[in-house]
Amino acid sequence: NTPLHELDPAVAAALDAELERQQTTLEMIASENFAPVAVMEAQGSVATNKYAEGYPGRRYYGGCEHVDVAEQIAIDRVKELFGAEYANVQPHSGASANQAALFALAQPGDTILGLDLAHGGHLTHGMRLNFSGKQFKVVPYHVDSATGLVDMAEVEKLAKEHRPKVIIAGWSAYPRQLDFAEFRRIADAVEAYLWVDMAHFAGLVAAGLHPNPVEYADVVTSTTHKTLGGPRGGIILAKKDFAKKLNSSVFPGFQGGPLEHVIAAKAVSFKVAASEEFKERQRRTVEGARILADRLTAADAREAGVNVLSGGTDVHLILVDLRESELDGQQAEDRLHEVGITVNRNAVPNDPRPPMVTSGLRIGTPALATRGFTAEDFTEVADVIAETLKAPSPFGAADADALKARVKSLADKHPLYPGLNK
C-alpha cells in the first residue's frame, strides 16, 4: 500500500505538475473537460482489477456480481439520458466505439460517406491512414466554402452517385448543428444506414440544447469525456434491432475485458449529466462560445485579419479563421500558450497553409464552463484572446506578461480541484 509519491516519485511529480498546469492555465481545447472528483474516484477504484469479458449477467469470468451492477446502472442511465433503446458502455474510447459501430454496419470494401477531415470530420470517418480509410471505400463530403456549412446538396448528390452502405454525420471541428432529418431523408433514399458520431456535442444533447440524433440515426456513437464531462471513453447507442450485432462487434469483435473502473465512472458521469446543474453548465458553455464568436468577428479583430468560420457558433466551440492574418495557426497557438490559454491549431477548409501549420484555431468553452466561468468571465477571456491575436509581431515578453496576469486572475477566481494538491 505504498503511496504513489513514495513508490514512484518521478511519475507522481509529472502528475502533480499536470494538476498545476490544469489549475493555473485556461483550458480551451474544445474536446477537453474536467471530470468531477467523484468520477475520478470511481475511475481510480478497485474495479480496475476485475476481468469481466461479456455483458452484465452473461460473463466469461466469475466474481462479476458487483461490476455487473455498476455496468447495468451505466447502461440504464445512458439509455434514459438520450432516449435510446440500446446502449453499449464498453468501448475504451471514441475511436473504439466508431470502429465497432462501422464494422457492425458494413463490411470491408463497402462505401462510406463522411465529412472530410480537412473540413471538420474525424479520423475515424474515413481518413486515409485510419482503419476507416484503409478498409472502406471513402467518399468525403465537404462544407460550402462561402457559408462554412455542410453542403447537403453535395451529400445528396454523392449519396445518389455512390450509394454508400453507411452515411456518417458528425464532426470534430464544426461550429454549427447538423440537419439530422435531412441526413435521414438522404440515407433512406439510397438505403444507407445513418450513423451519427455525437462525440463533441453529446453534452449539449443531454442538456436539451441540441437536437438529439438518437431520434434519427440507426446508430449513434460518442465519447464520454468531451462536453459530456465524464471519464475518457466511448459509448454506442442504437435502435434495438442493432443490439446483437453491436454487442458482438465490441466484444469479442474488437475488445477483450471491459474497463469496469471506467464504466463505473461513466455511470457516475451519466448521473451528473441528468442534473439541473449540468444543464446550467451546458448553457454557459454555449453562451461562452457565442461571446467568443462575437468578440472575434468584431471590426477590430477583422481589421487584424481575425475572423470566425460560418460567422458564429451554435455549439461549444468556434473556429477562428486566420487566412487573412499575418499569424498562422501554429504562431497563434504558441502566442496563446504564452499567455496561459491552451487551444489547438486547426486547418480551415481549403487551407492555404500546410497541415502542420494551418490557418485556424479551434477554441472551446466546456472546460471553463465546468470551472464555473460566467458570461462576464467569458467576455474577459474573449478580450484577452482578441488582444493576443491582434498584437503586432514581434510579440514580446512585456506584451505577454500583461495578458498573462489577466489569465491568472481568471484562473484564481475559479479554483479547480481545490484540495487535490499534495
Is residue 232 among the annotated active site residues? yes
Query: With binding defined as CB under 6 A, does residue 200 bind ligand PLP?
Result: yes
- Closer Cβ to ligand PLP, 54 or 94, answer by number: 94
Give me 52's grid cell: 469481466
Q: Are the C-beta atoms of residues 228 and 269 closer than 8 Å to each other? A: yes
Binding part of the chain for ligand PLP, among 87-95, 273-281, 330-338, 364-372 by CB under 6 A, reads: 87-95
Closest CB 44 distance from ligand PLP, rounded Å: 19
Among 28, 75, 95, 272, binds ligand PLP (CB under 6 A): 95
Q: Between residues 22 and 172, which has the closer beta carbon with respect to ligand PLP?
A: 172
Ordered DSSP codes for 299-356? HHHHHTT-EEGGGS-SSSEEEEE-TTSSS-HHHHHHHHHHHTEE-EE-PPTT-SS-TT
Q: Which is nearer to ligand PLP, 126 or 340 (CB)?
A: 126
Stretch that binds ligand PLP, among 35-43, 194-202, 242-250, 292-300 (CB under 6 A): 194-202
Residue 368 annotated as binding site: no
Pairwise CA distance, residues 233 & 224, whole Å: 5
Q: Which is nearer to ligand PLP, 23 or 346 (CB)?
A: 346
Grid cell locating 416: 479547480
Was 123 annotated as part of a binding site?
Answer: yes
CA 46, chain centre distance (Å): 28
53 is catalytic: yes
Residue 351 is among the residues annotated as catalytic for this protein:
no
175 binds ligand PLP (CB under 6 A): no
Of residues 34-63, which lie at the interface with ligand PLP (CB under 6 A)?
Answer: none
> For this structure, is 223 an active site residue?
yes
- 162 touches 300 (CB < 8 A): no
Q: Does 315 bind ligand PLP (CB under 6 A)?
A: no
Whether 121 has a binding-site annotation, put simply, is yes
How many angstroms separate the CA atoms of 258 and 234, rounded? 11
Strand partners, 114: 140
Contact stretch for ligand PLP (CB under 6 A) within 61-69, 70-78, 168-176, 267-275 = 168-176
Which among 50-58, 61-69, 167-175, 332-340 is the span making contact with ligand PLP, rule CB under 6 A?
A: 167-175
Residue 227 vs 325, nearer CB to ligand PLP? 227
Q: Which of 27, 77, 86, 197 is catalytic?
A: 197
Of the candidates 71, 197, 377, 387, which one interacts with ligand PLP according to CB under 6 A?
Answer: 197
> Could you say which DSSP state residue 214 is in?
G
Number of residues that bind ligand PLP (CB under 6 A): 15
Nine cell digits for residue 371: 470551472
- DSSP class per residue in 69-129: HHHHHHHHHHHHHHT-SEEE---SSHHHHHHHHHHHH--TT-EEEEE-GGGT--GGGT-TT
Cell numbers representing residue 235 in the block: 459509448
Question: Measuring CA to CA, which residue among 94, 374, 44 is closest to residue 224?
Answer: 94
Q: Is 269 in the site for ligand PLP (CB under 6 A)?
A: no
Question: What are the DSSP calls for 46-71, one per residue?
Answer: GGGG----EETTEESSS--HHHHHHH
Does 122 carry a binding-site annotation? yes
**Catalytic pick from 25, 223, 358, 365?**
223
Rule CB under 6 A: say whether 93 interacts with ligand PLP. Answer: yes
Binding mask 98-127 for ligand PLP (x = CB under 6 A): x-----------------------x-x---
Given a contact cutoff of 8 angstroms between Cβ atoms, the answer to whether 383 and 373 are in contact is no
- Residues lying near ligand PLP in the complex (CB under 6 A) are found at 31, 93-95, 98, 122, 124, 170-172, 197, 199-200, 223, 234
Active site members: 51, 53, 197, 223, 226, 232
